Structure 1
Amino acid sequence: MTREMAWDKLTAYGQEHLLRFYDDLDSEQQQALLEQIADLDVEYIHQLYQDLVEHRNIEIDDELSAMGSTTWSDVASEERQRLWESGLAAIGQGKVAAFLVAGGQGSRLGFEGPKGAYDIGLPSHKSLFQLQAERIRKIGLDAGFSIPWYIMTSPLNHGDTVRFFQKHDFFGLDPADIRFFPQGTLPSVDENGKILLAQRDRISANPDGSGGCFRAFKDAGLMDDLQERGIEYIFFYGVDNALVRVCDPYFIGFAIDQAKDIASKAVLKVHSGEKVGVYAYRNGKPSIIEYTELPEDLALAQDEQGRLVYGSANIVTHVFRTSFLNSALDKKTPYHVAHKAVEYVDEAGQLVKPLKPNAYKFEALYFDLFRYADDMAILNVSREEEFSPVKNFEGVDSKDTAREMFLNLCTSWVRNLDLEPAMPIEISPLLSIYGHDLDRTEVESRLKDTESGYLAP
């Protein structure tokens, strides 16, 4: 693209200011800027601003209705075993892949690097990535098949993520079964719809939200990879859950048994006012309803057993049928807008770091795709066993709460063997993921050998 072509493209939508510093740049910087402009869909950004900011329509008449669910603790042991065998068989036949959304940075945790590389302080000092990799490896060994693992990064952490896996020899997994791909981005605009410059030669851009993961997946050619591998079910999850049971055969079996487009794990809300999104139908379509959208009378409603009717909270753990994604990815999903403080270069070429919101970011949410599903199935699982997000440096949902929950769970497995450990216990996922397959004699022997509380294979 030439400067003249870029000028014509930008002036059509009032964005010619992006070339303001062009003549002051060296040839390499000029080329980099022109390449960014060539990739920029200015018409689309203009339309997003028009629709979401200038002429924003807020839906207030949505009709909400309850979505049924199954609670795992109510499932009989014989039925659990049947689901396990079904799920493990599907994994062993190569029908299941893992899809990890890992675009986040650890900055809120006081950590410089990909969030998945974060150490929550277990005796083993394993990262979130390693805990997940070892669960995948363990299930793969049990099923007799190496599970493909697709990992979405962000432009900011892509290189660091790949290098982290290389440094740790892919945690014992086959590198050929791990595919990394970066999330897409969208530019930020000021309050007048003008695209911001992050530097004189670089357009301000932010990740396009969790909903961009499938678009990026398709753009990377990975839908074709799924077809070539014969993948029928995709286990989709977020990076920050320290207790996530990746490719859980019980859950895979549940998804197969329910035969819906989507199956989702949930935890029951602690109380009606807990600030979490819940599963429900919005205008008859499967959806996640944010806590700010749920009227108080619905939030308080209880069933005959005294459980909250709208009580199944989203923990970002799903199984998608590949056939559903194939059909849904071509459908239009909405973008959402957020008013944020965004750094930018002003007319004088100086970097400005605003303290108050000055710009709009556009992002898509992955669960907006749910509306295209014929239906979905919900499985309520134990929060203490399966959900401990790491979002904050300290306090609630921090490394400290995640570490405590992880150790409490493993220690409870040991106590179930009529053993009383002298310290909190960490059990490697390669040794056990569920605890019920632990051998008492073997565990007792390992307890005598450990000084840190970590039990390795």
Structure 2
Amino acid sequence: MIKVNSEADKVCVAKAREAGQEHLFEGWDELSQDDQRGLLRDLRSINFQLVKRLVHQRRQGQDPDLDLGMLTPPEVHALPAGPAGDNGNGTGGTFPAAEAALGEGKIALFLLAGGTGLGLPGEPTGMLPIGPISGKSLFQLHAEKIRALNRRHKISLPLHIVIHPDHLETTSEFFKSENHFGLNPSDVHFLPQPLLPLIDRRGRFLRTEPGKLALSPNGHGGVLDDYLDSAGAETLRESGIEHLFFFQVDNPLVQIGDEAFLDHHISEGYEVSSKCIDRTEGEEDLGVFCRIGETTGVISYSRLPEQERSGRLEDGSLSFGSGDMATHIFKLDFVSRIHAENLQLPFHTTEKTVSFIDRHGELVRPTEPNCFEFSCYLYDALWPAKKNCIIYADRNAEFSPIRNMGGESSSLSAQRDLSQLYTTWLQRCGVEFTGKARDVTPTVEISPLYALSETELKSRSDLPGEVTDDILLTGGKK
């Protein structure tokens, strides 16, 4: 019998033992008090009933129940054509449904910033420098887009940031140190992701340190249960929110609050609307939009049968070529329906290689996958939607993910893509590239506070007549 101080800790130990995790208490008396407290703290955070279900799911080899033999490509819609990256104002027209919803405070933003990050240890992806010249962070770039949108509509959009709990303090302090990048602090809400234990092939929890469990976030889809459950959705509804705009932190080209996208979603009465981009190759690590019977959703590219994954049409494009860029609009009523009908999102299993503490207190460094991670994906919420829509987006204007430390899909390639987009804007506005800039491609950066779109850029009275070298355009409305 191990000794613990409180009744709550006794209950915690009993739950762990009942769940078959008694191995965690081997050598308990040899642990320091700090390690004992740390282990109990991690165990108290565990939803043992959920973990039991997930362990059973893994042992049964159960995957989300989809009939992959019935796959067909989905229907994809195009918004009115406009200049690249024009944030919904490309035609120079208006979008009354979107403008009304924005102006009346019916839109809430959800920035998906979970994951372990690609920066320094303990540093979230959102803190990576991304400005091609300024070096501003991803968080600052997104915040400036939101500020520009707020200024355009004379509003103050609420921003909910879904964050890895290990990054919560770092991220909140970063925002404070930068005065929330000009956003109203009361509009910025940090939502730490709940953690799930990694389990080995025998269904046992692992320890990465004597007093610390191996834990991982439950995935961005967890936000629907963790913060948008019945009570959470009702709180948003009481504040006037009707639609939720989700976007990824690691895509600096994302068009936050795209009016054309919002307008189509609202005016057509969709429960869910999503943006897609062309997949470049069969093995590209993107979710793939598909249709199964009367429903449309996303599955991992790795679950596609080989023919569907890499098969091409006569024009050379992939037959299942619509990739998920993780930009979605959810109607709040749809989120409420998910909970009312108890439509639980499935959990996906991923093999991981994780160092762990063995029963003798020694650190073991495996060379092959030794445990499983469980996560739920936001895109799985698309399948229950009774009416959803997929909108085509120009990849060059709206998608440049940061997933690698170098090469393509890195911060360097994203900086290049930002500069190329801004260069295109200037050229279409009649700005000439002369001198050095004629022979060597210059680096161009335009702050969203200077111009959020090409249309806004054209309206500036202080545009340079020519560009001869690298250029940074920043500043307020003019």
TM-score in terms of structure 1 length: 0.90
Q: RMSD value over aligned CA atoms? A: 2.8
Q: Which residue of 1 aligns with 2:414?
A: 402
Q: Which moved more, 1:334-343 or 1:434-443?
A: 434-443
Q: Report if the CA contact (8 A) 1:419-1:444 is conserved.
A: yes
Please, which moves more after superposition, 160-169 or 359-368? Answer: 359-368
8 Å CA contact 2:122–2:166 kept in 1: the answer is no
Contact 1:97 1:247 in 2 (8 A): no
2:42 maps to 1:36: yes
Q: Which amino acid aligns with 2:217?
A: P
Q: CA deviation at 1:27?
A: 4.1
In structure 2, the residue matched to 1:103 is 114
Distance in 2 between the 1:271 and 1:25 partners? 51
**Contact 1:83–1:253, Cα closer than 8 Å, also in 2:** no
Match of residue 400 from structure 2: 388
* Aligned with residue 69 of structure 1, among 60, 71, 76: 76
Checking the alignment, whether the CA contact within 8 Å between 1:83 and 1:251 is kept in structure 2 is no
Q: 1:361 offset after TM fit, Å?
A: 1.3
Q: CA deviation at 1:328?
A: 1.3
Change (3 A) 1:373 1:240: same
Partner residue of 1:279 out of 285, 289, 312: 289
For the 8 Å contact 1:341–1:357, the answer to whether it is kept is yes
CA–CA distance in 2 between the matches of 1:130 and 1:195? 38
* Match in the other structure for 1:216: 226
Distance 1:342 1:239 in 2: 26
Could you tell me how far apart the structure 2 residues matched to 1:26 and 1:220 are? Answer: 41
Equivalenced residues, count? 452
Match of 2:16 among 10, 24, 32: 10
Where in structure 2 are there 5+ consecutive unaligned residues?
1-5
How far the C-alpha of 1:60 sits from its partner, in A, is 7.8
Q: Give the distance between the partners of 2:268 and 2:22, measured in 1 at CA.
A: 53
User: What is the CA distance between 1:224 and its match in structure 2?
Assistant: 4.0
Shift of 1:419: 1.4
Hey, what does 2:430 align to over in structure 1?
A: 418
Q: Are the structure 2 counterparts of residues 244 and 117 from structure 1 closer, same or farther at C-alpha, using a change threshold of 3 Å?
A: same
Matches within 5 A, 1:92-131: 92-107=103-118, 109=119, 113-131=123-141
Give the Cα–Cα distance (whole angstroms) in 2 for the partners of residues 220 and 157 of structure 1: 27
Residues 272, 198 of structure 1: alpha-carbon distance in 2 compared, 3 angstrom cutoff: closer
1:78, 1:242 → 2: CA distance?
19
C-alpha offsets along residues 334-369 of structure 1, whole Å, 9 cap, x if unaligned? 111111111211111122222211111111111111
Partner amino acid, structure 2, of 1:68: E
Taking structure 2 as the reference length, the TM-score comes to 0.87
How far 1:223 moved relative to its partner?
2.8
Please tell me whether the aligned partners of residues 110 and 393 of structure 1 are also in contact (alpha carbons under 8 angstroms): no
Flag the 1:189–1:274 CA change in 2: closer, same or farther, 3 A.
closer
Which piece of structure 1 moves more, 421-430 or 75-84?
A: 75-84
SS of the equivalent of 2:431 reads coil
Determine if the alignment matches structure 1 residue 161 to structure 2 residue 168: no
User: Aligned equivalents of 2:460 and 2:229: distance in 1?
Assistant: 49
Counterpart Cα distance in 2 of 1:72 and 1:429: 22
User: Contact 2:444–2:472 at 8 Å: present in 1 too?
Assistant: yes
Alignment CA distance shift 1:78-1:45 (3 Å)? closer
In 2 relative to 1, CA 18–231 (structure 1 residues): closer, same or farther, beyond 3 Å?
same
Give the match for residue 152 of structure 2: 142
Q: C-alpha separation between the residues in 1 aligned to 2:143 and 2:196?
A: 31
Q: Which moved more, 1:430-439 or 1:210-219?
A: 210-219
What does residue 214 of structure 2 align with?
Answer: 204
Identical-residue share of aligned pairs (%): 30
Q: In 2, are the aligned partners of 1:279 and 1:312 still within 8 Å (CA)? A: yes
